[in-house]
Amino acid sequence: MKLETVLGAVALLSACVVGQAEVNEEKLKVSVYYESLCPDSKRFIRTQLYPVKRSSLGDKFVVELIPYGKATTTPTSTSYEFSCQHGENECNGNKMHACALKYINSTQVQLDFVHCSMSTRNPPQSLTECAAKLDIVDPVEEIRTCAEGAEGSELLARNGVETHALRPKLYFVPWITYNGVFSEENLQNSQDSFKTVVCSELKKNGHSCNGGISLENSATTMRHLILGIVIFQFCNKILS
């Protein structure tokens, strides 16, 4: 193979790799701090989060679910005691969700499960119903054992540590951050216009809401490609 051919291939490959790296930037991370019996949490997950995540826009962001909300945690000599905004049943539901999020491997099925649960009349008691509906078989007993035992308490306590560490402190549920950043405007708008907020955050990172990357990133990628061609031509002249 001629040297100029090799140099050309290297230059073009370098340009393509740089451009592809821009296309493959990390996805937007949406973190949702919620409660299993909170009406606003149920409404947001059912009417905003889930439909948008299941749309064509869903591939552009990842979802992190943290069941805990305005609960409090008190360590005891053997475990923890929890106090939840909507009572003990909500604490049980938060534990069950935390266990489901651990033992269901697929992130999509995790969201499917939480959506199913939050669509029932009694989310804390929805494990059997939603597992059957979603054909979840293997981890059901693990989730149940986890939720009813020490592991569920430990997982909920960890969610509490993460929730209490939020700055500013959580004062509304569901609490929503984008790439770990909280905005009062985003919180309010997300309740009824989640898709609009997601699109706005994507554009901040140079992504288009309709597919592909923004014009700015496309232009940058083209410049890298042209630069690779120029380098190839320059090296070809020197070595010829």
Taking only the tens place, the pLDDT of each residue in 109-118 is 999 999 999 9
Per-residue confidence band for 234, with pLDDT thresholds at 50, 70 and 90: low
47-65 pLDDT tens trace: 999 999 999 999 999 999 9
According to the model, what pLDDT value does residue 193 have? 98
Non-local CB neighbours of 130 within 8 Å, separated by 6+ positions: 113, 116, 117, 120, 136
Q: What is the mean pLDDT of the chain?
A: 86
Mean pLDDT in residue range 194-201:
98
- Is pLDDT at 132 greater than 90 in this prediction? yes
The answer to whether the peptide bond before residue 39 is cis (omega within 30 degrees of 0) is no
In 51-168, the DSSP E strands lie at: 61-67, 72-75, 80-83
According to the model, what pLDDT value does residue 201 have? 97
Per-residue confidence band for 214, with pLDDT thresholds at 50, 70 and 90: very low
According to the model, what pLDDT value does residue 229 have? 60
According to the model, what pLDDT value does residue 18 have? 41
- Is pLDDT at 35 greater than 50 in this prediction? yes
According to the model, what pLDDT value does residue 211 have? 53
According to the model, what pLDDT value does residue 240 have? 58
- Is pLDDT at 81 greater than 70 in this prediction? yes
Per-residue confidence band for 228, with pLDDT thresholds at 50, 70 and 90: low
Mean pLDDT in residue range 91-107:
98
Mean pLDDT in residue range 134-147:
96
Mean pLDDT in residue range 6-25:
43
**Residue 206 and residue 219 in contact, taking contact as beta carbons nearer than 8 Å:** no
- Is pLDDT at 217 greater than 90 in this prediction? no
- Cα–Cα distance between 25 and 129 in angstroms, integer? 38
Neighbour tally for 33: CB within 10 Å:
23
Torsion region of 167: left, alpha or beta (phi above 0 gives left; psi -120 to 50 gives alpha): beta
Least confidently predicted of 173-182, 190-199, 228-237: 228-237
Between 194 and 11, the more confident residue is 194
